[in-house]
């Protein structure tokens, strides 16, 4: 059984992989950063509720894009599981089937996405990840990460809009039927959500035009389901793609691991 931890700017995702599937996924708010004991209690409680035993965990793999969490996440699990966690970072990139020209300038979550996309699909691919940031990771069939695009995510955009204006209310992330806003909430939803639909479509068109060919397009991230008109532009929506990347990284680096 594998414990994969994906620490992003909004949530820390704890995933449990067993017998060929992700059997549990738990989310913990990233901010405010907690101490080691709080993460330990969170994990213990969820293991207890899921009727799982910590001693069943055969491996731990961690990705973090939040530097102040790195030491805490690396250390809190050791006394619980008695195993050294694999921390994704430039020191292990030489073992992976993907390559990047700037290993210290790319998020470990994007590396995990790239590994999953390359290993699972074995062809040119664009991975669109809807998270705190909206990212496009372009990976060639040879495993070279050809480029990355980063834009503010949906929630980030709406929070910035509401936080920097005096009279605009916070709105739910629901795609309206019409692009013509008929009230303030509808206007924000239309502008941001339909705007993001157009941005993703336009970015994919520009990426494919620059590459000179079409690629497979896979979407992931918790917000990928909201912009449903985009699903016709995606070959697949794979919710656990980042976790799958962490799982594959763990298996590649620990060649004898059976989880």
pLDDT per residue as tens digits for the range 150-190: 999 998 998 888 887 767 777 888 999 999 999 989 999 99
Residue 222 reports pLDDT greater than 80: no
Give pTM, 2 decimals: 0.93
Annotated catalytic, 58? no
**Per-residue 3-state assignment (H helix, E strand, C coil) for the chain:** CEEEEEECCCEEEEEEEECCEEEEEEEEECCCCCCHHHHHHHHHHHHHHCCCCHHHCCEEEEEECCHHHHHHHHHHCHHHHCCCCEECCHHHHHHCCCECCCHHHCCHHHHHHHHHHHHHHCCCEEEEEECCEEEEEEECCCCEEEEEEEEECHHHHHHHHHHCCCCCCCCCCCCCCCCCCCCHHHHHHHHHHHHHHHHHHHHHHHHHHHHCCCCEEEEECCCCCCCHHHHHHCCEECCCHHHHHHHHHHHHHCCCCCC
Contact 227, 200 (CB under 8 A): yes
Q: What angle do CA 107, 109, 111 make, to 5 degrees?
A: 75
Distance CA 5, CA 13 (A): 6
CB-based contact 6:15 (threshold 8 Å): yes
What are phi and psi for residue 105, nearest 5 degrees? -120, 10
pLDDT band at 259 (very low <50, low <70, confident <90, very high): very low
Determine the pLDDT at residue 79.
Answer: 80
Mean pLDDT of 129-144: 96
Q: How confident is the model over 9-63, as pLDDT tens digits?
A: 999 999 999 999 999 999 999 999 888 899 999 999 999 999 999 989 999 999 9
From 6, 109, 129, 244, active-site residue? 109
pLDDT band of residue 257 (cuts 50, 70, 90) is very low
- The CA-based angle 87-5-92, given to 5 degrees, is 20
**Residue 196 pLDDT greater than 80, yes or no:** yes
Please determine, for residue 258, whether its predicted confidence score (pLDDT) is greater than 70.
no
**If pLDDT is split at 50, 70 and 90, which confidence band does 82 have?**
confident
Instruction: Give me the mean pLDDT over the 213-227 stretch.
Output: 91
Say whether pLDDT at 76 is over 50.
yes
The CB-based long-range contact list for 185-191 (8 Å cut-off, 24+ gap) reads 188/158, 188/161, 188/162
Instruction: Specify the pLDDT at position 180.
Output: 95
């Amino acid at each position: 059984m594998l414990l994969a931890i994906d620490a992003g700017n909004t949530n820390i995702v704890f995933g449990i992989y067993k017998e060929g599937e992700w059997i549990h996924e738990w989310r913990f708010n990233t901010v405010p950063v907690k101490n080691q004991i709080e993460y330990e209690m969170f994990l213990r409680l969820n293991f207890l509720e899921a009727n799982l035993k910590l001693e069943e965990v055969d491996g731990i793999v961690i990705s973090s894009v939040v530097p102040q969490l790195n030491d805490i996440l690396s250390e809190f699990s050791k006394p619980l599981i008695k195993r050294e966690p694999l921390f994704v970072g430039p020191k292990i990139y030489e073992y992976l089937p993907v390559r990047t020209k700037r290993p210290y300038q790319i998020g470990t979550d994007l590396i995990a996405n790239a590994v999953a996309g390359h290993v699972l699909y074995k062809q040119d691919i664009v991975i669109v990840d809807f998270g705190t940031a909206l990212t496009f990771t372009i990976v060639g069939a040879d495993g070279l990460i050809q480029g990355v695009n980063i834009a503010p995510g949906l929630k980030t955009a709406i929070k910035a809009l509401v936080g920097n204006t005096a009279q605009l209310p916070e709105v739910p992330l629901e795609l309206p039927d019409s692009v013509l806003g008929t009230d303030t909430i509808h206007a924000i939803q239309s502008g941001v959500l339909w705007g993001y639909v157009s941005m993703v479509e336009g970015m994919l068109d520009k990426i494919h035009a620059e590459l000179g060919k079409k690629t497979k397009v896979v979407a992931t991230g918790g917000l990928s389901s909201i912009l449903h008109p985009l699903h016709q532009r995606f070959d697949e929506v794979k919710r656990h793609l980042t976790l799958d990347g962490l799982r594959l990284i763990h298996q590649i680096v620990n060649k004898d691991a059976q989880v």
